[in-house]
């Protein structure tokens, strides 16, 4: 027996992009059902990025879920770049006319969106099995899934594929209709989360002869640290003591001396890649977030790019239902991709600048240091870094 449901938009994926889209559509009076194959606990258990651009902060406010972010998030007006044993600050606020970023974990963003959706009584299906999308090349698309042994069909006008890199939506597109661009980096990030005070009140990006390191944070009492490691490394090879010892070797003397260590509460190795799908629309199917693109985490662009995809998509759907216009729908892919490629360029450039690549010699380290030296002593160079880091405006270049 199959149960049939009807909605205007079916969102596949209840991560931050799917939940944010659902909340923005709810605010605009557009109906949406979200289908997610994992449990809420699993979704909240993903340890991801935590630096929000101003555009993303504004979107969370627009969605009505920004209260806790403003109360508990950490406003950062700059960050440090470390090379040749010395730290140099990039003044984000001063270089961009007052813009800044917010350190607020993706887990907390997801929790806030989940709570808002639940409070509004909006339909979300978790632990949906055998999720599949159908007829998205027509005006009558649908999504099917199995829940508690019963098959359900959701008929809709549009499908929003917010189900991540390994999701069903992009995988359902015929190979001849899609072009995928990918660059896999020859190293990963070993990340540790610990209930220790951050080594510095702002982020430190370190270029070291021993490899890249990042000192980040989630709160005044919880820290997030990363080390560049070979892809062949396994988490089991890295004890907490070994991690802290290597991190100290990649920091300046002051940071190394003040680093507070402790037991890790999460430890993992993440590979780095640049990945972009063209186009991001296939008839009635629209890809957003990690389903359409992946950037290396060096520039903190992943969640922020997903948020701007969702903003464009929510505006397009709202325009379609409220104004009977297809302009936003038809231009969605082109608008997103222009921004995606700019962010991918910055993330690739920043990654290339800060990491040690296998096979590179001492001259490559010297050239990186020379470029860093130029960037921090050139106002125009520093401004370029700053304006890309805080995020380009939504209408940049339009």
List the catalytic residues.
76, 205, 297, 301, 389
Residue in 275, 216, 222, 271 with CA at minimum distance from that of residue 51: 216
Task: List the beta bridge partners of residue 10.
Answer: 33, 159
Element (H, E) at 244: helix 240-250
Q: Give the DSSP H/E element, type plus range, for residue 19.
A: helix 16-28
CB atoms within 10 A of CB 126: 17
Q: Give CA–CA dist 245/216, Å, rounded.
A: 17
How many Å apart are CA 367 and CA 326, to the nearest integer? 49
Handedness of CA 331, 332, 337, 338 (dihedral sign): positive
Q: Report the relative pairing of strands 9-12 and 158-161 from DSSP bridges.
A: parallel
| Bridge partner list, 143 | 133, 154
Between helices 362-377 and 327-354, what is the axis angle to 10°? 120
User: Residue 148 has which token pair?
Assistant: 């508690």
Is the C-alpha dihedral spanning 233, 239, 240, 243 positive or negative?
A: negative
Residue 90: CB partners within 8 Å, gap ≥ 6? 78, 79, 80, 81, 376, 382, 385, 386, 389
Work out the number of other CB atoms within 10 angstroms of the CB of residue 369.
15
Question: From CA 49, how far away is CA 224, in angstroms rounded?
Answer: 10
CA distance 134 to 126: 20
The length of the chain is: 398
Q: Which two tokens stand for residue 18?
A: 């799917």
């Amino acid at each position: 027996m199959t149960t049939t449901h009807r909605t205007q938009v079916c969102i596949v994926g209840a991560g931050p992009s799917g939940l944010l889209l659902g909340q923005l559509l709810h605010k605009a009076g557009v109906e949406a059902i979200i289908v997610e194959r994992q449990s809420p606990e699993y979704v909240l258990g993903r340890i991801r990025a935590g630096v929000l651009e101003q555009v993303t902060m504004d979107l969370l406010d627009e969605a009505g879920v920004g209260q806790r972010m403003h109360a508990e998030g950490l406003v950062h007006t700059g960050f440090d770049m470390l090379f040749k044993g010395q730290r140099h600050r990039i003044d984000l606020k001063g270089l961009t006319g007052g813009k800044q970023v917010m350190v607020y974990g993706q887990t907390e963003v997801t929790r806030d969106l989940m709570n808002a959706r639940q409070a509004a009584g909006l339909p979300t299906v978790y632990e949906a099995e055998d999720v599949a999308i159908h007829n998205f090349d027509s005006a009558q698309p649908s999504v099917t899934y199995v829940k508690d042994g019963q098959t359900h069909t959701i008929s809709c006008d549009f499908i929003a594929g917010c189900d991540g890199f390994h999701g069903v939506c992009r995988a359902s597109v015929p190979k001849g209709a899609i072009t995928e661009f990918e660059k896999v980096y020859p190293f990963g990030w070993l990340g540790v989360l610990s209930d220790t005070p951050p080594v510095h009140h702002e982020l430190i990006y370190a270029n070291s002869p021993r490899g890249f390191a990042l000192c980040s944070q989630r709160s005044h009492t919880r820290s997030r640290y990363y080390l560049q490691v070979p892809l062949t490394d396994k988490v089991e090879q890295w004890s907490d003591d070994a991690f802290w010892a290597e991190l100290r070797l990649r920091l300046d003397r002051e940071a190394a001396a003040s680093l507070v260590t402790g037991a890790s509460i999460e430890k993992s190795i993440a590979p780095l890649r640049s990945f972009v799908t063209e186009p991001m629309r296939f008839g009635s199917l629209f890809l957003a977030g990690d389903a359409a693109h992946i950037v290396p985490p060096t520039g903190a662009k992943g969640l922020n790019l997903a948020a701007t995809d969702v903003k464009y998509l929510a505006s397009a759907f709202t325009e379609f239902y409220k104004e009977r216009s297809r302009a936003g729908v038809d231009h969605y892919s082109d608008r997103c991709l222009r921004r995606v490629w700019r962010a991918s360029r910055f993330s690739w450039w920043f990654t290339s600048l800060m990491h040690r690549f296998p096979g590179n010699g001492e001259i490559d380290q010297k050239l990186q240091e020379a470029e860093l030296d130029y960037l921090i002593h050139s106002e125009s160079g520093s401004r370029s870094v700053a304006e890309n880091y805080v995020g380009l405006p939504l209408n940049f270049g339009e």
